[in-house]
Amino acid sequence: MRGFFGRKMTMVAALLATTGMASAEDVEVLHWWTSGGEAAALNVLKDDLAAQGIGWVDMPVAGGGGEAAMTALRARVTAGDAPTAVQMLGFDIQDWAAEGALGNLNDVAAAEGWDAVIPAALQRFSKYDGNWIAAPVNVHSTNWIWISKSALDAAGGKAPETWDELVTLLDAMKANGITPIAHGGQAWQDATIFDSLVLAEGTDFYKAAFVDLDPAALGGEKMADAFTKLMKMRTYFDDNFSGRDWNLASAMVINGEAGMQFMGDWAKGEFLKAGQVPGTDFVCIRFPGTQGAVTFNSDQFAMFNVQGDGKKAAQAAMATAIESPGFQSAFNVVKGSAPARTDVPDTDFDDCGKKAIKDLAEASAADTLFGSMAHGHAAPAAVKNATYDVITAAVNGEYADGAAAAAALADAVAAAQ
């Protein structure tokens, strides 16, 4: 490991010399990685920078979807005091770039060949007007189910491959006296489940509805079917789901209180932090009907316009640290996600991690890799928020049926554009 850090520090020094930058200052980082598994992963980056003599000034803002962090960021930028780097997702990065608020990472990216190893689907958000403005940390895929192995065994032992098999399993878990689905009633969590339901209606349909925003797809029969299934899934939540944070829902599965959770693969970090082993204590599968396709989000660190060579040098060093293959492996092994680079071996990853890397490569090759609507990678924030409102209303029983919810969704998206 010392050799790895030494090589990287040499690269950083060379880069700073060629760009004429001063010694790097400390980095102030705004993020929302506050759960146990997330904090453990973030420590990998902190330790990495510490090995280069760069201090870390932490600015955590709790909230799994990042909404609270973006509110805090707006206040900081308005006050003329932007952090060094900010964890961001998808279209939020593009929106800040459009305001001219983000710095430029072209020198680092060119020196390290990012264009050749970071997938185009991620570069869609890492670049603005052809310039690198953010460093992607990972690729989280969102169409996962995390199942308690003991609860699965007690309910028959077969992981579901179809919707009907999923319902049968949920009914069996309910009969066994546990909460079938651990869920947190927050808008982004509701939307995460719905994302998979829409993808299960077909990859062409997902693209038409959530990427192309086709009114006929948004308000049609397949969307109505997805909403009908969402309303069915609501019957498997416990009565106290409203407002629950996602990691507390994960803990319900870990502790044997619930059978499964529908969540992105950041949930795996919670299982691993609790000492659980894939295949032994929990099972990871793709949502039935979505095998061969992947919806994703990518945590990225956007670098804001800062004054002073020392601060810019710190940004360059942080970007270099994030994109180094050694860090990409070490961080994502802990975080539960797949690397943002295509050249990172899966050697150190567990079975779920190896599957994530394999599924990502296959979906990318098959053109079935889609940015997640629920996580701000399919459409701009106004559209995402409009879908949130309708999905959560459906979860809370505000529509007579799936058709009514689909019609409401089509209207809401049209109004948001």
What per-residue confidence (pLDDT) applies to 232? 98
Q: CB-side exposure of 325: number of CA atoms within 13 Å?
A: 12
Domains of the chain, by residue range, sit at 2-141+298-354, 144-295+370-416
Name the DSSP class of 208. Answer: I
Could you tell me the two tokens for 341?
């680079």
125 Cβ neighbours under 8 A, 6+ residues apart: 89, 90, 91, 93, 94, 134, 136, 298, 300, 377
Which residue ranges of the chain lie beneath pLDDT 50? Answer: 1-22
Is the distance from CB of 100 to CB of 130 less than 8 angstroms? no
Q: Could you read off the pLDDT of 195-215 as tens digits, one per residue?
A: 999 999 999 999 999 999 999
- The pLDDT of residue 23: 64
Which CATH architecture describes the domain 144-295+370-416? Answer: 3-Layer(aba) Sandwich (3.40)
Distance CA 109, CA 135 (A): 9
Strand partners, 57: 28
Instruction: Please name the residues in contact with 74: beta carbons below 8 A apart, sequence gap of 6 or more.
Output: none
The hierarchical CATH code for the domain 2-141+298-354 is: 3.40.190.10
2-141+298-354 and 144-295+370-416 agree in CATH topology: yes
Q: Residue 311 corresponds to which amino acid?
A: K
The whole-number pLDDT of residue 6 equals 43
What is the spatial distance between Cα 35 and Cα 40, in angstroms, rounded to a whole number?
8
Count CB-CB contacts under 10 A for residue 244: 19
Residue 148 near residue 279 (C-beta atoms within 8 A)? no
Whole-number Cα distances in Å, 404 to 110, 354, 393, 400, 411: 51, 41, 11, 6, 11
The pTM of this model reads 0.85
